[in-house]
C-alpha cells in the first residue's frame, strides 16, 4: 500500500534513492527524527512514497521563453521580404536553403517528445545496445543519398506522390496521398498528446494547457512562415533538446561520482551490452534488429516520406542536399547518444531502488520527468529546460507534419483540378490548409485522451504500418520495370493489411518482459517505514515487499510467437510483403514492358538526367539545371541522340502530368 505524505529528508538522504547503505532516519510526521532507526516487526513495514513533484514558476518561465522564441522565428520568416509570394516559396523556401539548417531540421523532424522521453527509458531497461540505432540511421542516410534523393531532386518534385502518377497512374498517386495524410494526422496528434499525458501523470502539468499552447503556437508559426520558419525553428529546437540532455547528464554524473563510476555501475548491471547478436526476432533490441528493421524503418521515414523529402529538395543544389543528409546523421547521432547516456545515468542513480518497482511512477516513459524533477529540485528553472527540450521535439515534429500535409494536398489535389489559380491565391490556400491541418492535429490529440495508455506504442505502430508499405511502392516503381499499376495497388493493399495485422496482434498479445529481453532492476534499498510506530514514523532502507505480476493474456497457439516480433520489424514486414505481392500480382496480370513506360521514371534513367529545378533566378556553379522558367527543353541523356521536346511547362507538376499522359 502506498502512502503519500510531506517529508523532510536528512542532509544525507536529500534524494532517497541515493542514500549511503547505512540506517538513516527520515521524519515523516514533521517532527524531529529519533536518534536511531530500529527494525520493525515483520509485516509492519510499508513502502514510503514521496509527494508529487511539480514544476516551479521559473520552470514555466523557461518553457514560455522557448515558445516565444519559436513564435518569433516564425513571424520573422513569414513577414521578412514581403512573405511568401508563391506556394513554391511556402513549401520549399524557394529552393534556396543551405545544407546546415536543412540537415539539423531533418534531425529534429522525427525526434519528437516521444523519443526524448522514450529513448532514455529504453536504454535504462534494455541497455546501451540502443546505440546500434545510429548504425541503422547511417545506413539509411547512405541509401537515401544514393537511391532516393537523386530521383526526387532531379525531377523537381514538391510532393513525392507526383512520382507515383508519373510511373503508374493517378489512382496510385491518390492512394499514396490519402494514406500519408491520414497516417500523419494520427501520428502528429499522438505526438502532441503523449508528452502532455506523461508529464501530467508525473507532475500534474495540465493536459489541456500544454496541448493548446504547443498546438496553437506550432500551427501559427507554420501557417505564417512556411518552410523557412519550420526549418529555422527546428534548428533552434535541436539545440534546446541537446542542452536539456547535457544538463541531465552533467548533473547525474556528478551525483553518481564521475563518468567512470557510471560506466562501472552500468556494466555491473549488464547495461553495457553492445555485443548482443541474438538472432531471435522476438528480442526487442539486438544488433540485427537495428541493422535490418531499424534501417528499413528509417529508410521509410527519410527516403520517401513527404516531410523529409520536402526538406532536402529545398536545398540550392543536389550536392547541398547530400550534405544536409550528412549533417542530419551527425545530429541524429548526438541526440540518440545523449538520450542513451541519460538512460545509463538514470540506471546508475536508481540502481538500488528503481522508481517503477517502487511505484513512484506507473510506466517506463515516466522515468525521465521523474529523474529531472528529482535531481534538479533545488535548481529552479533547470527542469523547465527539460520541459522545453521535450516540447521542442513535439513542435519540430508537428510543424514538419503540418507543412508536409498541406504540400501534398496542394500538389496532388488542388493544382491538378485548378491549374489556372494565381500564385498569390494558391499561397493563401496553402496557408489555409496549414491552419486546417494544425487544428485537426489538435483535435486528434484531444481524442487521443480516449485511448488511455499505450499512446507511445501507438505512434510507432502508425508510422511503421503506413510508411513500410509506401516504401515498397516506391521500390516497385523505381527499380522493377515489370511492375504494373494493378500489381502495385494489390501489393500496397497486401502490405498494409499484413503489417496492420501483425501490429494489432502485437498490441492485443504483448510479449513478456523476458521474451523482449528486458534487463532486471533492483529494489534492494528502497525507503520503508514502520506503520505501527505511531506519530514518529521513521524510514529504513530495505528490500521491497514481494509482489505478483498480473497474469499475461492467453496467446494464440500458432501465431502467438509471431505477434511477439519486435516493433522495429513492422515497417520491414510491410515493405517486403508489398514488394513480393506487387511482383507476383504484376506477373499474373501481365507485366509491363519497359518500352511502354514513360521516359525518365526508372532509377537508372533518372540518375543520368540533369536536375529540372534550380533556385529562382540562380544557377548553381558548375551545373546547368533545367530551370522551371529558364530551360526551353527537357533533356534526357542515355540515347545516341538528344531528344527534342516541346517547350518546358511552367512548373515541375505540369511537366510531370504532361509526360505521364504522353
Contact by Cβ (8 Å): 49, 355 = no
Q: Helices then strands (H, E): number in the chain?
A: 25, 4
Per the structure block, which three cell numbers stand in for 211? Answer: 496541448
Reading the block at residue 176, the C-alpha cell is 499514396
Sheet with 539-542: strands ordered across: 3-4, 45-49, 526-530, 539-542
In this predicted structure, what is the pLDDT of residue 511?
82
- The predicted model gives 17-39 an average pLDDT of 35
Rounded CA-CA distance 429/414 in Å is 9
- Calpha distance 443→211 (Å, rounded): 10
The Cα-based distances of 598 to 25, 91, 651 in angstroms read 80, 27, 18
Task: Write down the residue that cell numbers 542514500 correspond to.
Answer: 19
DSSP code for 258: S
List pLDDT tens digits, range 292-304. 988 998 898 888 9
How far apart are alpha carbons 649 and 662 in whole angstroms? 14
Q: Count of residues for the chain?
A: 662
| Average pLDDT rounded to a whole number, residues 428-448 | 83
Over 70: is that where the pLDDT of 551 sits?
no
- DSSP bridge partners of 46: 529
* pLDDT at residue 613, as a whole number: 53
Mean predicted confidence (pLDDT) in 368-395: 83
**Confidence (pLDDT) at 244:** 86
Alpha-carbon gap, residue 283 to 512, rounded angstroms: 10
Q: What is the pLDDT of residues 339-376, one digit of tens each?
A: 999 999 999 999 988 888 888 887 787 888 889 888 98
List the grid coordinates of 557. 497457439
Residue 594 above 80 pLDDT? no
Which residues contact residue 529 at a Cβ distance below 8 angstroms, ignoring those fewer than 6 apart? 3, 26, 28, 45, 46, 48, 537, 538, 539, 540
Q: Are 263 and 351 in contact (CB under 8 A)?
A: no
Report d(CA 275, CA 254) in Å as an integer: 28
The mean pLDDT value for 520-532 works out to 71
pLDDT recorded at residue 647: 44
Contacts of 452 (CB under 8 A, 6+ apart): none
pLDDT at 249 over 90: yes
Residue pLDDT, tens place only, 617-656: 444 443 433 333 333 333 333 333 333 344 444 444 444 3
The CA distance from 320 to 311, in Å, is: 11
Write the CB contacts of 589 (distance below 8 Å, at least 6 apart in sequence): 484, 486, 487
What is the rounded average pLDDT of the residues 191-218?
A: 76
- Residue 241 to residue 244: CA distance in whole angstroms: 5
Q: What pLDDT score does 649 carry?
A: 46
C-alpha dihedral (272, 278, 281, 283), degrees to nearest 10: -40
pLDDT of residue 317: 87
- The DSSP result for 633-644, as a single string, is S----SSSS---
473 in the Ramachandran plot: left (φ > 0), alpha (ψ -120 to 50) or beta?
alpha
pLDDT digits (tens, 9 = 90+) for 250-287: 999 999 999 999 999 999 999 998 988 988 888 889 99
- Of 101-115, 228-242, 391-405, 491-505, the range with the highest mean pLDDT is 491-505
Packed helices 367-375 and 382-409: angle between N→C axes, nearest 10 degrees: 150
pLDDT of the residue at 58: 85
The string of DSSP letters for 92-154 reads: HGGG-B-HHHHHHHHHHHT--HHHHHHHHHHHHHH-GGGGGHHHHHHHHHHHIIIIIHHHHHH
The DSSP letter of residue 80 is G
Q: Which has the higher per-residue pLDDT, 165 or 214?
A: 165
Asked if residue 113 has pLDDT above 80, the reply is no
Rounded Cα gap, residues 339 and 30, in angstroms: 38
Q: Is the pTM of this model over 0.85?
A: no
**Residue 27 φ then ψ, to 5°:** -80, 125
Q: Is the pLDDT of residue 161 over 60?
A: yes
DSSP per-residue string spanning 3-33: EE---B--STTSSGGG--SS----BSSSSPP
CA distance 538 to 37: 7
- Give Cα separations from 101 to 184, 234, 486 (angstroms): 23, 8, 41
State the chain's maximal CA–CA distance in angstroms: 98
**Mean pLDDT of the region 499-506:** 88
Distance separating alpha carbons of residues 126 and 284, to the nearest angstrom: 8
Asked if 612 contacts 655 with a C-beta cutoff of 8 angstroms, the reply is yes
Share of the chain above pLDDT 70, in %: 74
Measured distance CA(374)–CA(352) in Å, rounded: 15
Model confidence at 94, pLDDT cuts 50, 70, 90, reads low
Phi (first) and psi of residue 69, to 5 degrees: -70, -40
| Secondary structure (DSSP) of 323-343 | HHHHHHHHHHHHHHHHHHHHH
pLDDT average, residue stretch 115-120: 83
pLDDT band at 217 (very low <50, low <70, confident <90, very high): confident
- Of 77-86, 212-221, 226-235, 368-377, the least confident: 77-86
Q: How many CA atoms lie within 13 A of 26 on its CB side?
A: 27
pLDDT for the residue numbered 546: 56
User: Which one-letter DSSP state was computed for residue 627?
Assistant: -
Amino acid at each position: 500500500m502506498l502512502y503519500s505524505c510531506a517529508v523532510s529528508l536528512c542532509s544525507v538522504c536529500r534524494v532517497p534513492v541515493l542514500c549511503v547503505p547505512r540506517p538513516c532516519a527520515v521524519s515523516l510526521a514533521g517532527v524531529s527524527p529519533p536518534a536511531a532507526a530500529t527494525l520493525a516487526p515483520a509485516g509492519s513495514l510499508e513502502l514510503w512514497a514521496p509527494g508529487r513533484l511539480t514544476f516551479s514558476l521559473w520552470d514555466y518561465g523557461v518553457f514560455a521563453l522557448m515558445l516565444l522564441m519559436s513564435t518569433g522565428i516564425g513571424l520573422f520568416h513569414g513577414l521578412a521580404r514581403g512573405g511568401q509570394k508563391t506556394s513554391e516559396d511556402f513549401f520549399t523556401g524557394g529552393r534556396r536553403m543551405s545544407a546546415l539548417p536543412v540537415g539539423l531540421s531533418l534531425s529534429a523532424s522525427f525526434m519528437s517528445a516521444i523519443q526524448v522521453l522514450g529513448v532514455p527509458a529504453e536504454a535504462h531497461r534494455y541497455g546501451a545496445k540502443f546505440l546500434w540505432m545510429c548504425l541503422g540511421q547511417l545506413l539509411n542516410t547512405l541509401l537515401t543519398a544514393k537511391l532516393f534523393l537523386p530521383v526526387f531532386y532531379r525531377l523537381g518534385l514538391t510532393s513525392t506522390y507526383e512520382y507515383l502518377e508519373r510511373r503508374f497512374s493517378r489512382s496510385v498517386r491518390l492512394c499514396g496521398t490519402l494514406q500519408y495524410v491520414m497516417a500523419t494526422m494520427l501520428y502528429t496528434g499522438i505526438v502532441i498528446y503523449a508528452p502532455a499525458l506523461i508529464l501530467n501523470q508525473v507532475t500534474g502539468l495540465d493536459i489541456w494547457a500544454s496541448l493548446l499552447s504547443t498546438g496553437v503556437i506550432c500551427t501559427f508559426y507554420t501557417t505564417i512562415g512556411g518552410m523557412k520558419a519550420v526549418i529555422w525553428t527546428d534548428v533552434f529546437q535541436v539545440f534546446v533538446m541537446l542542452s536539456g540532455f547535457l544538463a541531465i547528464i552533467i548533473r547525474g554524473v556528478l551525483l553518481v561520482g564521475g563518468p567512470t563510476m557510471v560506466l562501472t555501475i552500468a556494466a555491473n548491471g549488464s547495461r553495457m551490452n553492445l555485443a548482443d547478436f541474438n538472432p531471435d526476432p522476438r528480442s526487442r533490441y539486438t544488433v540485427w534488429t537495428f541493422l535490418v528493421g531499424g534501417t528499413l524503418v528509417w529508410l521509410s521515414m527519410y527516403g520517401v516520406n513527404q516531410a523529409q523529402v520536402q526538406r532536402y529538395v529545398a536545398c540550392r543544389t543536389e550536392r547541398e542536399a547530400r550534405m544536409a543528409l550528412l549533417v542530419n546523421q551527425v545530429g541524429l547521432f548526438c541526440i540518440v547518444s545523449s538520450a542513451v547516456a541519460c538512460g545509463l545515468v538514470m540506471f546508475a542513480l536508481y540502481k538500488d531502488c528503481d522508481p517503477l518497482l517502487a511505484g513512484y511512477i506507473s510506466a517506463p516513459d515516466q522515468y525521465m520527468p521523474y529523474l529531472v524533477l528529482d535531481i534538479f529540485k533545488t535548481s529552479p528553472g533547470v527542469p523547465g529546460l527539460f520541459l522545453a527540450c521535450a516540447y521542442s521535439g513535439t513542435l519540430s515534429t508537428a510543424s514538419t507534419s503540418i507543412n508536409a500535409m498541406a504540400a501534398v494536398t496542394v500538389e496532388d489535389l488542388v493544382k491538378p483540378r485548378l491549374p489556372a489559380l494565381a500564385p498569390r491565391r494558391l499561397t493563401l490556400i496553402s496557408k489555409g490548409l496549414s491552419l486546417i491541418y494544425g487544428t485537426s492535429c489538435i483535435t486528434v490529440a484531444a481524442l487521443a485522451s480516449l485511448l488511455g495508455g499505450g499512446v507511445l506504442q501507438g505512434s510507432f505502430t502508425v508510422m511503421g504500418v503506413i510508411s513500410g508499405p509506401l516504401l515498397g511502392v516506391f521500390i516497385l516503381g523505381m527499380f522493377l520495370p515489370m511492375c504494373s499499376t494493378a500489381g502495385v495497388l494489390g501489393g500496397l493493399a497486401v502490405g498494409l493489411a499484413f503489417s496492420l495485422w501483425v501490429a494489432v496482434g502485437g498490441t492485443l498479445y504483448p510479449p513478456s518482459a523476458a521474451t523482449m529481453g528486458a534487463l532486471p532492476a533492483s529494489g534492494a534499498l528502497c525507503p520503508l517505514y514502520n506503520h505501527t510506530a505511531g506519530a514518529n514514523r521513521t524510514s529504513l532502507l530495505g528490500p521491497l515487499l514481494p509482489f505478483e505480476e498480473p497474469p499475461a493474456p492467453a496467446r494464440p497457439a500458432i501465431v502467438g510467437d509471431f505477434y511477439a516480433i519486435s516493433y522495429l520489424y513492422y515497417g520491414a514486414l510491410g515493405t517486403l510483403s508489398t514488394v513480393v505481392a506487387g511482383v507476383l500480382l504484376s506477373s499474373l496480370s501481365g507485366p509491363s514492358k519497359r518500352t511502354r513506360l514513360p521516359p525518365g521514371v526508372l532509377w537508372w534513367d533518372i540518375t543520368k538526367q540533369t536536375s529540372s529545378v534550380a533556385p529562382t533566378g540562380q544557377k548553381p556553379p558548375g551545373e546547368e539545371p533545367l530551370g522551371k522558367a529558364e530551360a526551353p527543353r527537357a533533356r534526357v541523356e542515355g540515347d545516341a541522340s538528344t531528344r527534342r521536346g516541346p517547350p518546358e511547362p511552367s512548373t515541375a507538376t505540369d511537366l510531370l502530368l504532361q509526360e505521364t499522359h504522353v
